[in-house]
Each structure stands twice: as structure tokens, then as C-alpha cells.
Structure 1
Amino acid sequence: MAAGYTKVPVRFIVFILFFYVLLQPCSSQSDVKVSASPVREIIRNRRQVCVDGTYDHEGRTCCLCAAGQYLKKDCSSSQDDRICDQCESGTYNSYPNSFKSCRPCTSCSHPNANLVVAEPCTIARDTKCRCKEGHYCTSNTGSCQICHPCTVCSTSIKEPCTATNNTVCNEPEGNKTTAIVVSVIVGLIVVVAAAVAVLLWRRKKAAQQPQAPSETTANGNPADVEMQRLIDIQPLLPQIAEQLAWKDVEHLATRSGIPGPAIQSCKLDHPGDSQEQTLQLLRRWVECQGKRAADNLVQNLRESRQIAKAEKVEEILYNKNPTA
């Protein structure tokens, strides 16, 4: 009996010790988790002390007040012991700040501004205004101070009035017709004025030409030798033009006072055909020269040191006019 009694407590003790050792690590891990949780909480709380940011005051860093609040007292011993107070009605602060007061809300009821409230003011947001119906504002910032009445079209509407753009009206049909008629009339006046100016210039030029003395032809009949040359030179102009270049005749026309537009018109009438351009300008020059065209042509060529061309022209003239 005594021996059996002593074996039972030993087995019981061993069993208890085994379970104690087995459960010891779990108990240790549980203790670590419990002890670590407050540490993480403290770190998290420290990081979230200034959720809206900070500002500097007398060498200390203080937490900003939240939107909709203003700073009543700066911090003294810790970052978050500053004192903030909520904005009063009619005032706001739209972002975290260290202002000593809140800003007054914008009013949309200015005289003649034509504004109405789009969104009312809150402690964290200013009033938003918009134009009254039938008004517009062209502000690029999106914040209008004054709205203008939309234009009322007397004709059909091309683009309707919006909050940022005025009405665009279609032009009346009568205005288009009037504009065309006016353009045509102005064009005709310009053309007539140019024609009158050229005519007056030709008359003045002809009046300045000296009168040649009257002579007698070979058959004994009185005649104007210079007029005879003018009549005979006309059929010879194509041959004479072949001996001259455009620049030669242009130089003659310019020296004789023929207007630049009249010279250029000869070129425009025959684009790409320099021979025909030269011939047309030469004919115009001969008409302006009058009775002394043949003599003046040869003389001008010699004065311009175009001796060879002057001799060619003389040969054409005298072969056709042996009595000249």
C-alpha cells in the first residue's frame, strides 16, 4: 500500500510540469502583444497630433486650426495646446490656418451687379455667386463681380446667351445687300476717277508739246512733216518693238511721265508675252509723244547710250520714210 501510494503523486507532478512547459511560450507571446499595443498607440497618437499641419510661433511649432476655425491663442507647452474657436455666422476660413479672425463672406447683393447666390456661405467656404437670368459675365477667373444684360437680337439668334458669353445674332439680310451695293459703287467711283485723271494728264501733256513749223512736201503741197511721221510710224511699231526690250520702253515711258499703274497694265494685259507687252507700251508712249514720236524715240535711245538700237530704229524709219 505504501509503495503504490508514493507512485501516484510523482506521475501527477510530471504531468503538471509537462503542461506548464508546453503552455509557457504562448503565455510569453500573449504578454508581448499586450505590452506592445500601448507603445504603438502612443506613436500613432504622436504622429496625429497636428492633422492639419503646423506653424511656427516664437521658436515653437504649433498645430494649425482646422478649416472653419480661427486661432484664439498660440501654443505654449505642447504643439496641440493652442486654442481654436469656430468662425461666427457670416464669416469663414476655407483651409487650415493660424489667422486671428475669420474672413467675411462675400455678398452677392451689390447694386447693379446683377448677381444671385449660387451656393451660400459656410464657416469653411465662401459664398458662390452667379449671374441673374438673362445676364452674362466674361471673367476668366470664374468669379464675376458684375454681370451684363444679354443682347436681345432683332433678327434670329446664332448663339444663345450663356453665363459666360453674350448672345450672337445673325446679320439682317438687308445689311448684306447694302454692303454689296456700297462696295460696287465705291469701285465704280475709283475706276471713273482714275480714267478722268489719265485723260486730264494726257491733255496736259499734249498741250505742253511745242508746235512744229509748217513745211512743204516733195510734191509742193504744204504739210506738217512731223504729223506725217506720226502717221507713218504706227505700222512700223511691231518691227521697232522687236529691236527693243521691255526695260528700254519702260525707261522711255517713265521718263515721259506715264503713270506706273498705266505701265504695269500693259504687262498685266499680256502675261507671259514680253514682246506683246513691249509693243503695247510702245504704242502708248507714241500716243503720248504726239507729232515728234519718231524723233524723240531715236533721241532718247541715243541719250541712253543705246546707239546700236537707235541705228536699227533709224534704219526702219528711213527705209519706210525716205523723205523724212
Structure 2
Amino acid sequence: MAANHTRVPVRLIVFILFWYVLLLPCSSQSDVKVGANPWREIIRSRRQVCVDGTYEHEGRTCCLCAAGQYLEKHCSSSPDDRVCEHCQTGTYNSNPNNFESCRPCTSCSHPNANLEVAEPCTIARDTKCRCKESHYCTSNTGSCTICHPCRVCSTKIKEPCTATNDTVCDKPEGTPTTAIVVSVLVLIVVLAAVGVAVFIWKKKKAAKQPQTSSTTPDNGNQADVEMQLLNDIEPLLPKIAEQLEWKDVEHLAMQSGMLSAAIQSCMLDYPNDSQEQTLQLLKKWVDTQGRKASNKLVQNLRDSRKIAKAERIQDILCGKNLTG
């Protein structure tokens, strides 16, 4: 009888613990329906764990698609019943997502960009480009859109060209650095004195000539081009660019000796906007020409027999409002 009395409390304790463990998960699951089997709901909720995270859609929580996939259909009854599809060749998604399409892979074959493929594009990773041999790029972001040819030294190489730095050439032995600096300073002083003398001479000469009234040009000769135009045409560049085409400004840049890489970079930076390409190249060209950019622009158009464009741009420079 003593043995039977000691077994009853043990069975009772085991029975209470069993029902406590059984009912505890059911009470802690806020989304378990009343009257549902608690173990089935627990197993079902564990199966629905979203490995790549979740997103909200129309009040429902859905599982994200994995990297390399895109969302074809949102979830309807459970988080993991959304439909995902793999990205097509030439496209990718590098992170878990709920995008309805994949991004196009980056191309390394832009003309004059001097790039080559370092790592090909996969459905879960974009293409990685690098500079071709003997080329470099100084981008701080690690992603280059154009690479430049490495400098070729006529003397010894101090630091060789790398993917991110140009060649550093060593100075020739015995170069009289101090003498060169002094010579340059003397030359600058002499040129400045000559410039001042020429300026004073022209001012005196202009003072002796009778002044003529400033009239609006109505013909296409050189005298009209040399009339008083605005020296600072920066604020007018957007209006001027609207009157030009890419071929007009490209011709200007090539005639002035601008590097082909600098010209092409304007196209690469704005691949789908020809107006913005024209404006950006025009700004670069104006920066290289200085104060006489306006006269050179008008005269170049006249020399190219583009008289109508030259006259419209001359009207802009003279402060006229163009209505068409």
C-alpha cells in the first residue's frame, strides 16, 4: 500500500505537465483558429516560415522571392503560396525581392569605354566590368563607365599604371628644376607686360576712332559676329542647346581638339536623352573656349552654312526672345 500511495502523485504530476505542454502552444499562437488541432496548426505555421523575409500586400504577409527570381503572383491564402519565377538570361535580381521583373544586366561593350567583362552576369548577380589592359579609371565608387589609356613615359616609370591610377613617370636625371621654374615665371611676367601694353594701345586706338551706334545685325558677315555679345553665355546654354543638334556640337568639339573620350562620355552619361547629351557637350566646349565662345559658336555655324541656326543663336546672345 505504501508503494501505491507514492505512485499516484507521480502520475498526477506527469498528467498535468502533459496537458500544460499540449495547451501552452495553442494559447501562445495568436493566429490559431478556435477549435483547430493545435499540433497541426503549429506544424503548419512552421512550414510557412519565410526564409528570405516577408512583405505586405493588401493586408496579407507574403514571403519574398529569392535572389535570382521575380514575383509572378502574390500570396492568397498562406505566406508561401506566392508564385516566383527565375530571371531570364540577360537579367538579374541580386537580393530577395517582390519585384515584378528582373533588372537588365550591365553591358561592358560601350564604344570607346575601354571596358571588358570581369565577372559575367548571372540571374543573382550583375555583370562586373573592369578596364582593359593598359587602361585605368579613377572612379571612387568602384564602378567605372569609361577607362582612359595609360600614359606612356619617355623616361623611367616611377609608378606603373594600375586599374585605378595612371602611370607616374620619373623626372629625367639632372633636370634643373629651379631654373625651369624661374624661366617660367620670367616668361609669365614678360607676357603679362606685353598683354598690358597691347591693351593700352588698343584702348588708345579705339578712343581716336569715331563711335558707331550698336545696331541689331541683319546680315551674315564677320562684322555682325564681332558685335558686342555676352561674354558669359553659361545662363543661356540651355536655350542655345535647343537650337542645336548633337552633330553640330560634336563638330565644334572635334574642331577645337577635344578628346574623343570626353565627347563620348557625354553620350554614355545620358544614353537615352539626346538633348541632354548636346547640352553637356556644349558646356564642356564652352569651358575650353573661354570668353570668345559666343563669337566662335556663331562663326562656326556660318562657316558650316547653317545660317538660320547661327542667326537664332545670335538673337539669343543679344537678348532677344525666341518664340519658335
Q: Which has the higher helix share?
A: 1
User: Which TM-score applies when normalising by structure 2?
Assistant: 0.45
